[in-house]
Chains A and B, each alone.
Chain A
Amino acid sequence: MDQLASRSDAELLQLALAGDEDAFLRLYEKLKSGIFRYAFFMTSSKSAAEEVTQEVFLSLLREGRKYRADLGDVGAFAFGIARNIVRRVERRERAYEPLPESHTPEQFSRGLVCEPEGLPGQMIRGELVAKVQAAIATLPDHYRQVVVLCDLCEFSYGEAAVRLRCAVGTIRSRLNRAHGLLAQKLKPLRSPRRDIEAAGPEGCVV
């Protein structure tokens, strides 16, 4: 495993395709978090994110020989696969209106058990997150991709540009316009911090 630390992603992919399980695990550890988070924020569903991540690595094994280093790094290649699979999942799930996962009974009961900032704060925070996610979901796709990559997955402008195959300036301008649209959509919201403070420790829950 130590020998693999110095290997590039492209070399790890080649080794993994040749049957080196350690190399595959190394590559998986490097890429899984970004792909999972991207899939989660794009689909707003944990189960869909798991499905997408699994599909991405399966596709890497099947189609990995098509990878060309001159077109970008392995992360960008895997991200391209993830983007296609996310689109496929979105098309499939478009007919259904999923229940926000933050509102599931499981999430609710978890909030009751551990509440670092109190139950009202948890609920308001959950509501705000759901609204932000809903607002992001209504953005045009090219804005949504940038917001998810830069704001939610914490990619740098350069990394986002490589993954979306566009210029850094394009990323900046799209992000700026996306922020403007999001600010308009979130305008009716009250400040969450003020709400949390106003609710206090004895705020009415039900």
Chain B
Amino acid sequence: MNCQVVRACFEDPLRPDFDQRAAAAEVAEHVMSCAECSRFVEAQRRLGDGLRMARESAPAVPVSLDAAVLANYREHAEERAQTVRPSFAKRPRWLPVLLWSAAAVALLLVGMIALGPRRAAVPVAAKPQSAQPVANSQTVNAMGGDKRGTVEPVESRAVAALPRRSPMENSGKPARAAAAMPGEPLPASFRGLMYCDALSCGGAMEVIRVQLPASAAALAPRSVPSGEAVYADVLVGPDGIARGIRIVE
């Protein structure tokens, strides 16, 4: 028997490999001869006494507590009985699912409308004026070059404020759009603004005269200063998209 064994006996007396009764005599003998272990055992005994007295000092559960807990239970049971709703008044379980689904579908529709494919933006300068009643507008059949009328100068709002230069054709005579060559999608004098063939550019087109800054029109004659405006005929398809342009000299 040594000091470590004695301490282990007191620190964990319930451990399975330790027989307290069998070791009691040896422990007592060692404690009598070892001052350190004697102090340790005395401290443990004091602690054990203190804990036992503290344990015994606990008051019994008061009767008033029993009554209070029972009263709480009855009150709770009564409240619960009052708050139970009849079954028909309950909200159906599928209702929230339906509401959330409807909200999701609505959100999806709004998203599709807002972010869906849009019509291609029409250049400001080539804004079709066909919606306005233009009496003398000239309509050109791109495929056949069929003239249906004359073209009146139509000023673009965006460039109306620019200093203008009077075109030669603007002296009372209406400008005429050149006829398209047979088999060609655009009249010969027009420069194409987009890919245009017999399949993609079918149908009648309108010629609209607009006013552009010279710098914006790449085909403007070099004699025109870049700060001034020039007139141009724009071929606009039935879908409102400009197909070709021609600078009016």
Contact = CB atoms under 8 A, between A and B. Distances in A.
A176 B12 contact: yes
A176 B14 CA distance: 12
B188 interface: no
A53 interface: yes
Counting chain A residues whose Cβ lies within 8 A of the other chain, the interface size class is 35 or more
Interface string A54-90: 1001100110000000000000000000000000000
Contact of A179 (B14, B47, B64): B47
Q: Which secondary structure dominates where chain B touches chain A?
A: helix
Given A41-B58, A152-B58, A183-B46, A58 B76 contact: yes
B74 A102 contact: no
B50 A186 contact: yes
Contacts of B69: 28, 32, 53-54, 57-58
Given A21-B74, A50-B62, A53-B61, A151 B55 contact: yes
Interface in B72-98: 72-74, 76-77, 80-81
B104 interface: no
A179 B40 CA distance: 12
Contacts of B42: 191
Contacts of A136: 54
A28 B71 CA distance: 13
Contacts, number: 104
Contacts of A131: 50
Interface string A161-179: 0000000000010001001
Contact of A129 (B14, B50, B73, B77): B50
Contacts of A21: 70, 73-74, 77
Contacts of B12: 172, 176
A176 to B, nearest CB: 5
A141 interface: no
A129 B52 CA distance: 9
A90 B72 CA distance: 23
A113 interface: no
B58 A57 contact: no
Contact of B54 (A24, A152, A183, A189): A152
A128 B51 contact: no
B90 to A, nearest CB: 17
Interface string A36-48: 1100110000100
B44 interface: yes
A57 B47 contact: no
A26 interface: no
B59 interface: yes
Interface in B122-145: none
Contacts of A133: 54
28 contacts: A21-B74, A21-B77, A25-B70, A32-B65, A32-B69, A40-B58, A41-B54, A46-B59, A53-B61, A54-B65, A54-B68, A58-B69, A62-B76, A102-B57, A125-B53, A128-B49, A129-B57, A131-B50, A133-B54, A136-B54, A157-B14, A172-B15, A183-B44, A186-B46, A187-B43, A189-B46, A189-B50, A192-B46
